[in-house]
Chains A and B, each alone.
Chain A
Amino acid sequence: MSLSREELEAKLLDYVGREIGPPEQGPYPVNETMIRQWCEALGDENPVYTDASAAASSVHGGLVAPPTMMQTWSLRGVEMADPDAGRQNLQTELHSLLGDAGYPAVVATNCEQGYTRYLRPGDEIFVSTTIEAISEQKATALGIGYFINTREVYRDQQGDEVGWQTFRVLKFARAEQPGAATPDGAADEESSTPTRLRPPMAHDNKWWWDGIAEGRLLVQKCAGCGELRHPPRPMCQHCRSLEWQGIEASGEGEVYSYVVMHYPKFPGYEYPFTCALVELAEGTRMVANVVGCDPSKVHIGMKVRASIENVDDEFKLPFFRPID
């Protein structure tokens, strides 16, 4: 199946706000065996879960299940690992749709739960699941994909709510996987790239970034004494003048020092990469990435030239490329 991104996203909209099917009953009632196994696995020694006589004299008046087991009562065991063997519903259909469209991987990202009452052995659990939201296409460190939010409501044999859960998964194409989904069109590709951190914009620096946005690499020049300075600041430390202009730099420079970034890895950056302290022909220095050259080839004294390039749809950065 080959859907365009628009077609896929139109189909996704159909799923939002719908229950995935009728309420599903948990395979077993709440029972002491599973409670004991769970408590042993998690090292929870609270006697109200496993010691009937202690539980009888507690505020509960008898054994109860740990509240965080709530979802456990609705899970169907090993059959869940096989997408075809399980029962079909709108949720499995949605996952198949995304899988076929090039987003086969899935990872759970968030879960919240709330509990209305303690569950007791013998309680039957019924869960209703609603697809609450599907995100726009997102680029993440794992890969490009869609976040799906569901809300589960848990009820007992009387139909009374005993708790709720919100669950969020990312259905995605692995970042380096060959043949993985690529968004349509170059513009889309840029907007889907995880973005670099934006500099905070304020009085004293926005003009410089505006210059970059216009494709101009500026250096601040004091109107009082003519001294150049970078990074920009409001006052000249030589003559205390508050007047200045931004003059356009030639863009020529050389590497004064550099580092190669490996760890920790931040989204929006491809590791390893080079950050250099570049000394411009005008004499000021600035920190920027050296690109178009393997990090192992960068060296102090290397001649470089500025190149202002887009890192995404809206944001440009000055890079430096080696001069051959």
Chain B
Amino acid sequence: MPTTLKNEAAIAGIGQTEFSRNSGRSELQLACEAVSAALDDCGLDPGEVDGLTTFTMDTTDEVELAQNVGLGDLTFFSRIPYGGGAAIGVMQQAAMAVATGVANYVVVYRAFNERSGHRYSAGVGEGIVTADLVHWGWYMSVGLLTPASWVAMFTQRYMHEYGVTELDLARVAVVTRKHAVNNPAAFFYEKELTIDEHHDSRWIVEPLRLFDCCQESDGGCACIVTTPERARDLAKKPAVIRGVAEAATRGQENMTSFYRPSISYLPETDLVAKQVYEQSGLKVDDIDAAIIYDAFTPIVLWQLESWGFCGRGEAGDFVGDGNLELDGRLPTNTHGGQLSEAYIHGMNGVNEGVRLIRGESVNQPERNDHVLVTGGVGVPTSGMVLGQPD
């Protein structure tokens, strides 16, 4: 029995639907198409699949998915809460399942009509009075209702403490867009963005402008996780999970951790990074490229700091120095990120992480031994480092 998850699991296949503003079909169908594409990608028979994991927010029922795609007998199914924070949490679930033999082939899936159906930007509302709804109740009457507004509250304080400026945020949006320009799957394919266009875009919630916020998308993504040994027998080069972790830390709230001594960094991301580095035996200098969850521009800065690519408050300069460019120190969000490819709750980033390891990205950097992929932040969060197979 393994004592850590290092090199115990690999992503063998990836699949996705097109990303759009109106898919014209059910979330279940999107999930089925994404899973089917992932199976085809690595040549796995659906009957071999015996595990499923997804987000608590996903509407596609496990057994419905199994019925549609013709999956085998299931011995493992699980879900992870906290929106995009689950993006790599589900990878950890899958890795634990295959590492322990609870399942042999786990499908990770996430599909939604987040643009044409329920949009998360529409804010929190009423419902059954749970502890979580009581929590939202502290913000509803005040009007602090949307993901952008919660992130903006941290951003204002971070900018104040470290002298980070709107230009620093704009540079994140612009470099990410540069990558999307080359990606036919991206919503902003062939549509460049300039610093001035960012500056001229309207306020959503000060200090965040329109182009500091990701778009909203319809679409689905899926991947197949199995052991590195089994993955060798499948069609594609696998991406081996070197380390994977989740974390929630003291004072953690669901998007509103406003009451900690400092709100200018992400202690839960620090803890994910610490675990992943310890588990993998890797150091920050070993990371060649990154997929950093980017629902909003400032959260990229905080994660760069938490993962140790630069010091606290220095991420604006790190980005300004061109480090996220394809020829920079850390080519980042090579697919265009959620800011410019699509918002699929981080799972399109997982697929891009695998493409980077395979050498298949439309923006393939030269060095690709190790790729960092992170989940959503401001919530309990998660992250992993992918590496090359033996």
Within 8 A of A (CB), among B82-134: 121-123, 125-127, 129, 131, 133-134
In the complex, the chain B residue whose C-beta lies closest to that of A197 is B140
Query: Is A289 at the interface (CB under 8 A from chain B)?
Result: yes
A-B pairs with beta carbons under 8 A, tally: 114
Query: Which 4 residue pairs are nearest across A and B when measured between Cβ atoms?
Result: A199-B137, A260-B206, A257-B157, A259-B152
Smallest distance from the beta carbon of A194 to chain B beta carbons, Å? 12
Are B156 and A259 in contact (CB-based, < 8 A)? yes
- Known A204-B134, A287-B138; contact A300-B206, beta-carbon cutoff 8 A: no
**Cβ proximity bits B64-93 to A, threshold 8 Å, 1 near / 0 not:** 000000000000000000000000000000
Q: Mark A253-290, 1 if CB is under 8 A from B, else 0.
A: 00011111111101001001101010000001111110
Do residues B142 and A275 form an inter-chain contact, with CB atoms below 8 A? yes
Q: Is the CB of A264 within 8 A of B140?
A: no
Binds A, one of B143-151, B181-189, B273-281, B357-365: B143-151
The smallest beta-carbon distance between A224 and chain B, in angstroms, is: 19
Q: Can you report 12 A-B residue pairs in the complex whose CB atoms are below 8 A from each other?
A: A196-B143, A197-B143, A199-B137, A200-B136, A202-B134, A230-B259, A231-B259, A257-B153, A262-B206, A275-B153, A284-B259, A300-B157
Which residue of B is nearest A270, CB measured? Answer: B143
* Cβ contacts under 8 Å, B129 to chain A: 200-202
Question: In the complex, A317→B153 CA distance in Å?
Answer: 20
- CB-CB under 8 A from B131, the residues of chain A are 204
Least CB distance from A157 to B in Å reads 41
Quote the shortest CB–CB distance from A196 to chain B (angstroms).
5
Check: A205 CB closer than 8 A to any chain B CB.
Answer: yes
A131, chain B: closest CB distance, angstroms: 32
Question: Taking A275-B142, A289-B142 as contacts, is the C-beta distance between A260 and B205 under 8 angstroms?
Answer: yes
Which one of A263, A273, A287, A289 has the highest number of Cβ atoms from chain B below 10 Å of its Cβ?
A287
**Contacts A258-B153, A264-B122, A275-B149: A199 and B141 contacting too (C-beta < 8 A)?**
yes
A198 on the B face (CB < 8 A): yes
Q: Is B145 touching A317 in the complex (CB atoms < 8 A)?
A: no
* Inter-chain contacts of A197 with B (CB < 8 A): 125-126, 140-141, 143, 145
- Residue in A closest to B146 when the chains form the complex, CB atoms: A264
User: In angstroms, how far is the closest chain A Cβ from the Cβ of B16?
Assistant: 28
Q: Are A257 and B149 closer than 8 Å at their CB atoms?
A: no
Contact check, A317 vs B142: say whether CB atoms are below 8 A apart. yes
B142 touches A287 (CB 8 A): yes
Residues from chain A with a CB closer than 8 A to the CB of B154 are 257
Binding site for B on A (CB under 8 A): 196-202, 204-205, 230-231, 256-264, 266, 269, 272-273, 275, 277, 284-289, 295, 300, 311, 315, 317
A285 to B131, CA, bound (A): 20
The SS class assigned to the A binding surface is: loop
CB neighbours of B263 from chain A (8 A): 256-257, 277
Chain B positions within 8 Å of A230 at CB level: 259
- Taking CB atoms, residues of chain A closer than 8 Å to B143 are 196-197, 261, 266, 269, 273, 275, 289
Contact call A285/B259, Cβ cutoff below 8 A: yes
State A230–B145 Cα separation when bound (angstroms).
Answer: 19
Q: A200-B134, A200-B137, A204-B134 are in contact. Are A287 and B258 (CB under 8 A)?
A: yes
Q: Is B322 an interface residue (CB 8 A)?
A: no
Q: In the complex the two chains form, what is the Cα distance from A202 to B138 in whole Å?
A: 12
Bound-state Cα–Cα, A40 to B71, Å: 45
Q: Which residue of A lies closest to B126 (CB)?
A: A200
The complex places the Cα of A316 from the Cα of B127 at a distance, in Å, of: 22
Contacts A256-B157, A284-B259 given; does A317 touch B207 at CB 8 Å: no
- Is B202 engaged at the interface, CB distance under 8 Å to the other chain? yes
The answer, yes or no, to whether B162 is at the interface (CB within 8 Å) is no
Indicate which residue in B134, B144, B203 contacts A275 across the interface (CB closer than 8 Å): B144
Contacts of A295 in B (CB 8 A): 206
Contact present for A259 and B206 (CB under 8 Å): yes
Q: Is the CB of A263 within 8 A of B145?
A: no
8 other contacts beyond A201-B129, A205-B137, A262-B205, with CB at 8 A cut-off?
Answer: A197-B143, A200-B129, A201-B137, A256-B263, A257-B157, A261-B149, A264-B146, A275-B149
Contacts of B133 in A (CB 8 A): 200
Contact A277 B123 (CB under 8 A): no
Q: For residue B206, which residues in chain A have a CB less than 8 angstroms away from its CB?
A: 259-260, 262, 272, 295
A266 touches B123 (CB 8 A): yes
CB pair B135–A259 under 8 Å, yes or no, is no
Query: Within 8 Å CB of A261, what residues of B?
Result: 143-144, 149, 205
Q: Do residues B134 and A260 form an inter-chain contact, with CB atoms below 8 A?
A: no
Cβ distance B265 to chain A, nearest Cβ, rounded Å? 14
In the assembled complex, the CB of B142 is this many whole angstroms from the nearest CB of chain A, namely 5
- Whether B139 contacts A263 by the Cβ 8 Å rule is no
Give Cα A205–Cα B138 distance, bound, in whole angstroms.
9
Residue of B nearest to A317 (CB): B141
Residue of B nearest to A274 (CB): B206
Known interface pairs A261-B205, A275-B144, A275-B153. Does A205 touch B123 (Cβ–Cβ under 8 Å)? no
Enumerate chain B residues within 8 angstroms of A200, measured Cβ to Cβ: 126-127, 129, 133-134, 136-137
Cross-chain contact of A198 among B140, B144, B258 (Cβ < 8 A): B140
A263: chain B residues within 8 A (beta carbon): 202-205
